[in-house]
Structure 1
């Protein structure tokens, strides 16, 4: 990685951390520069302004959404497959926590962020619709199952727990990843059989 790329990554990381702490409005280029251990002029040279940093963060998110497909390896076992999907989903949301928090807390100021964040659940939804149809044809899922409703429920279940993990980390609403996969996701998969 070139020195410029390293500097950009350091700035993006600092920006992301600060958004989680202070929100977009409370995150200043001065705070970013201090956390990234660079001059403010370095930020302006690489990103022009705070909005440029946000744009780059969103671009990284979109690239990751597209690359998420590479992490899937279906095994034609509904429990194994859904646990894998849930784990990838949880890890993805954790990596991009600042974008999700921004969309939850400041979506009225940044409607474009909401449409970006919606790409992840939509991607998982579309992927699972195809997979669930295949599973119905293979007899893994009962043919009477309303797969559209089940896919919606599964995506909502995963999204809800992932968001609860960083919005309410000390609450009963949040279920630790291991327990969530082993109990909730496996139970969900079993009810589809």
Structure 2
């Protein structure tokens, strides 16, 4: 990694960490520079302004959505596939926690973030719709279920627990990852059979 790329990554990480703590408005280029251990002029040279850093952060998010797509591999076993999908989903949201929090807390100010955030659930929705249809034809899931409703429920279940993990980590709303995958997702998968 070149020094310029390293500096950019350091600034992006500082920005991401500060957004979680202070929100977008409370995150200043002075704070970003201090946390990244660079001069404020270095921040401006690499990103022009705070909006440029946000744009770079959302571009990284979109690249990672594509990578998540490449990481997902179906095994034609509904329990295995849904546990894997939920696990990838949880890891992805944790990795991009700052952008999700920004979306949740300051979406009125940043409507463009909402369309970026929606790409992950939409991707999983579309992928699972196709896979559920295929598994229904092979008999792996029941022909009696409403595929669209079940896919919507699954995506909402995964999104809700992942977001609860960093918004309400000490609440009954959040179920620890291992328990969520083993109990909730496997139960959901069994209900589809």
TM-score by structure 2 length? 0.99
Pairwise CA distance, 1:96: 0.3
Q: Which runs of 5+ in 2 are unaligned?
A: none
- The residue number in structure 2 matching 1:157 is 157
- Residue 130 of structure 2 corresponds to 130
Corresponding residue number in structure 2 for 1:80: 80
Q: Do residues 111 (structure 1) and 111 (structure 2) align?
A: yes
Determine the structure 2 residue equivalent to 1:148.
Answer: 148
Distance 2:144 2:175 in 1: 30
Deviates further, 66-75 or 180-189: 66-75
Q: Say what the alpha-carbon RMSD is for the aligned residues.
A: 0.4
Which segments of 5 or more consecutive residues in structure 1 lack a partner in the other structure?
none
Runs of 4+ in 1 over 3 A off after TM superposition: none
Q: Secondary structure at the match of 2:60?
A: helix
Deviations 1:115-149 (A, max 9, x none): 10001100000000000001000101111110000
2:89 aligned residue: 89
> How many angstroms apart in 2 are the aligned matches of 1:20 and 1:131?
35
Cα offset for 1:65?
0.6
| Whole-angstrom CA distance in 1 between matches of 2:186 and 2:15 | 37
Q: In structure 2, how many angstroms separate the alpha carbons of the residues matched to 1:69 and 1:137?
A: 23
TM-score, normalising length: structure 1: 0.99
For residues 28 and 13 of structure 1, the distance between their equivalents in structure 2, rounded to whole angstroms, comes to 14
- How far residue 12 of structure 1 moved from its aligned partner, in angstroms, is 0.1
